[in-house]
């Protein structure tokens, strides 16, 4: 009988082991592939930031190391940030705390505890959002005047803000430089940016302080134009508050007010930066709330399209009538931040859509909202400049709005606005958004005159030398005044423009501010006499209609008549100018100090219906209370 061999238990075990090994290897390969795939994807890290006691820390700066991509923790200490596969660490920094650089985990959750910086109480000063070491806050530098030190705080590790260098205007000898020529400026971004720094307990960088933009942030009570020109001109001359030997001349333009119902129809394109650098509470979320205010101001005859740009540019809303507010607001609300920044591509697409929906005789305008970061495609300032210069000839103007902290490219945004026949504002909070989009709705969006230029001719019989306060990046060659091809500033309906000159009169025998210029060899100046000889100077203005190509001339003589009782306009603008000089550490600040600024501003506050002048007074007091400006007694 044939026998059957029984199953061998060892052989069965080896067979099963081989099968299990194969299954395990397959699983490991799958996990590895999944891990590789996961590692090659952008992902969102979130978590909370607390102190050692477990209390939430709002306002903590979180950024990806060696990049400008960052965010800020909210009121509950919660944060979210997008990271790329190549990113290594996150940097957590907060006033009074030790900065932590934390390796990005494999999970999507990262909670961080920040420790207090171990310093004595005598080394700490109180600031808006906590405490700060004096060693960090107070880098002593040369101050204004004798025995005066000015202190400032360096910015966080991930701060990449850029400002153009400003070399302050000095005094000009009238015999060598009888003409002063410049373009008007209705940009007001510098003041709100300076306010943001001070409210955070810091002094702004010197080049962020533009005296003319600070002065022009405020409206002044000038006469409404009544003649053929779209603006009135007001002048006032009195003793200079910070140097009693000198004069101060105040020049004010008042743009014609146009009732909202009579404004031309608007063809608007919202060009919104939704790149990763906009992922912060004071950036894209504030953009949405600000533009909601503007949408609520639109009329049925107005139209809005929305273009966004991040890694690429795209249209998210076709040109839509202004009475379709829900459609427009829904498109705004769906926007989220992420990716790099294709700013140039976004600009081109926005211009294309604006031209496709062009309204003849209307307000055709792109409104760009960004923190200023353009790093893919057309990115250099010069390339942007050439693009907007070319496109503005088609009648599409530009408004540029800056948002956020730590990444502002002020130099680039101002250039885009200036070359695009538009204006530039910085929005640091919802109140500023209301000012730009509601209080100054017409002036922000509707141009009544373009290429507006000043040229002042000083009388050497009455004036020894003069100094224009601010406008350093708006100066023109004297020959540019009559050249209609030269671009200059635009003025909106209801807007005011203010300029100040510090003047050394001719009867001052010796003055340490008098510039030294050798007598001219080939030219002689003929002394004027009679009525003309008594004039201090002559103001000339050139401007074009919004759709015009040829300029008109306005000429106004100014008498040498020193006023003893000055207006609120004169005194308040002088106070703002003094504050700007202190912040800039100006060599021309003379006897300026916090007390004199407050006295001038308080006496000139006026009705102040919107509270902006009262806010200025509080800012000056805050600088004094925080001892950001320190004086040796």
Mean per-residue pLDDT of the chain: 83
Q: What is the CA radius of gyration of the chain?
A: 30
Closest to 279 measured CA to CA, from 63, 575, 100: 63
For the cut 60, the answer to whether the pLDDT of residue 155 exceeds it is no
Q: Tell me: the pLDDT tens digits for 524-582?
A: 666 666 667 789 999 999 999 988 889 999 999 999 999 999 999 999 999 999 999 99
- From the number of C-beta atoms within 10 Å of its C-beta (0-12, 13-18, 19+), residue 182 rates as buried
Integer Cα distance of 353 and 366 in angstroms: 10
Range of weakest confidence among 119-123, 161-165, 230-234, 416-420: 119-123
Q: Give the pLDDT score at 595.
A: 95
The gap between the terminal CA atoms of the chain, to the nearest Å, is 123
Integer Cα distance of 304 and 163 in angstroms: 31
Q: Give the pLDDT score at 380.
A: 59
Question: β-strand 423-427 against 397-403: which pairing, if any?
Answer: parallel
Q: What is the mean pLDDT of residues 362-378?
A: 78
Residue 196: count of CB within 10 angstroms of its CB: 21
The CATH architecture of the domain made up of 172-258+448-627 is Sandwich (2.60)
Segments of the chain assigned to CATH 3.40.50.410: 260-442
DSSP string, 35-48: HHHHHTS-EEEEEE
Question: β-strand 124-127 against 61-64: which pairing, if any?
Answer: unpaired
Residue 470: alpha-carbon gap to chain centroid: 16
Rounded percentage of the chain residues whose pLDDT exceeds 90:
52
User: CB–CB of 577/469 below 8 Å?
Assistant: yes
Q: What is the mean pLDDT of residues 230-250?
A: 96
Segments of the chain assigned to CATH 2.60.40.1230: 172-258+448-627
CATH of 43-114, one of 3.60.21.10, 2.60.40.1120, 3.30.930.10, 3.40.50.300: 2.60.40.1120
Say if domain 260-442 classifies as CATH 3.40.50.410.
yes
pLDDT band at 153 (very low <50, low <70, confident <90, very high): very low
User: CB–CB of 155/432 below 8 Å?
Assistant: no
Q: Give the pLDDT score at 612.
A: 95
């Amino acid at each position: 009988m044939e026998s059957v061999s029984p199953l061998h238990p060892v052989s069965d075990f080896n067979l099963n082991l081989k099968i299990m090994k194969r299954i395990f290897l397959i699983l490991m390969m799958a996990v590895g592939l999944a891990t590789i795939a996961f590692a090659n994807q952008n992902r969102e890290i979130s978590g909370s930031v607390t102190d050692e006691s477990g209390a939430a820390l709002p306002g903590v700066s979180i950024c990806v190391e060696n990049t400008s991509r960052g965010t800020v923790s909210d009121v509950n200490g919660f944060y979210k940030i997008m990271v790329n596969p190549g990113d290594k660490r996150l940097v957590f920094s907060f006033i009074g705390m030790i900065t932590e650089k934390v390796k990005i985990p494999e999970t999507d959750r990262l909670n961080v505890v920040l420790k207090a910086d171990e310093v004595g109480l005598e080394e700490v000063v109180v600031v808006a959002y906590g405490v700060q070491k004096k060693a960090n806050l107070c880098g002593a530098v040369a101050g204004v005047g004798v025995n005066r030190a000015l202190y400032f705080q360096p910015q966080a590790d991930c701060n990449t803000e850029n400002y153009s260098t400003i070399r302050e205007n000095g005094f000009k000898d009238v015999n060598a430089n009888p003409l002063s020529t410049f373009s008007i400026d209705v940009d007001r971004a510098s003041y709100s940016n300076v306010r943001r720094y001070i409210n955070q307990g810091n002094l702004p960088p010197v080049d962020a302080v533009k005296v003319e933009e600070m002065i022009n942030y405020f409206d002044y009570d000038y006469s409404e134009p009544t003649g053929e020109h779209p603006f009135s001109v007001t002048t006032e001359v009195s003793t200079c508050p910070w140097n009693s030997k000198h004069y101060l001349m105040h020049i004010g333009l008042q743009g014609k007010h146009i009732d909202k119902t009579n404004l031309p129809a608007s063809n608007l394109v919202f060009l919104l930066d939704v790149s990763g650098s906009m992922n912060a509470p004071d950036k894209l979320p504030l953009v949405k709330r600000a533009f909601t205010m503007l949408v609520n101001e639109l009329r049925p005859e107005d139209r809005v399209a929305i273009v966004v740009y991040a890694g690429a540019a795209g249209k998210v809303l076709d040109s839509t009538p202004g009475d379709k507010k829900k459609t427009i607001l829904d498109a705004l609300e769906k926007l989220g931040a992420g990716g790099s920044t294709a700013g140039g591509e976004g600009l081109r697409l926005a211009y294309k859509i604006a031209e496709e929906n062009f309204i003849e005789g209307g307000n055709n305008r792109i409104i760009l909202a960004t923190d200023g970061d353009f790093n893919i495609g057309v990115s250099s300032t010069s390339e942007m400049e050439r693009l907007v210069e070319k496109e503005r000839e088609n009648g599409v103007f530009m408004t540029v709005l800056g948002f956020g902290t730590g990444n502002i490219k002020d130099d680039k945004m101002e250039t885009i606005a200036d070359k695009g026949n538009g204006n530039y504002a910085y929005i640091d909070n919802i109140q500023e958004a209301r000012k730009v989009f509601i209080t100054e709705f017409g002036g922000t969006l509707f141009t009544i005159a373009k290429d507006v230029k000043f040229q002042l001719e000083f009388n050497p019989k009455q004036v020894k030398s003069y100094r224009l306060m601010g406008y350093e990046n708006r100066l023109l060659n004297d020959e540019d005044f009559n050249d209609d091809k030269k671009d200059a500033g635009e003025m909106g309906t209801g807007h005011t423009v203010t300029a100040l000159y510090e003047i050394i009169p001719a009867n001052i025998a010796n003055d340490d501010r008098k510039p030294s210029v050798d007598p001219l060899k080939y030219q002689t100046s003929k002394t004027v006499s009679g009525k003309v000889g008594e004039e201090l100077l002559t103001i000339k203005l050139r401007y074009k209609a919004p759709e015009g190509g040829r300029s008109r001339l306005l000429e106004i003589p100014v008498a040498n008549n020193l006023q003893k009782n000055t207006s609120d306009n004169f005194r308040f603008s002088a106070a703002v100018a003094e504050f700007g000089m202190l912040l800039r550490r100006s060599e021309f600040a003379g006897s300026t100090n916090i007390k004199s600024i407050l006295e001038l501003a308080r006496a000139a506050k006026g009705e102040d219906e919107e509270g902006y002048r009262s806010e200025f007074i509080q800012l000056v007091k805050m600088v004094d209370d925080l001892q950001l400006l320190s004086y040796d007694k």
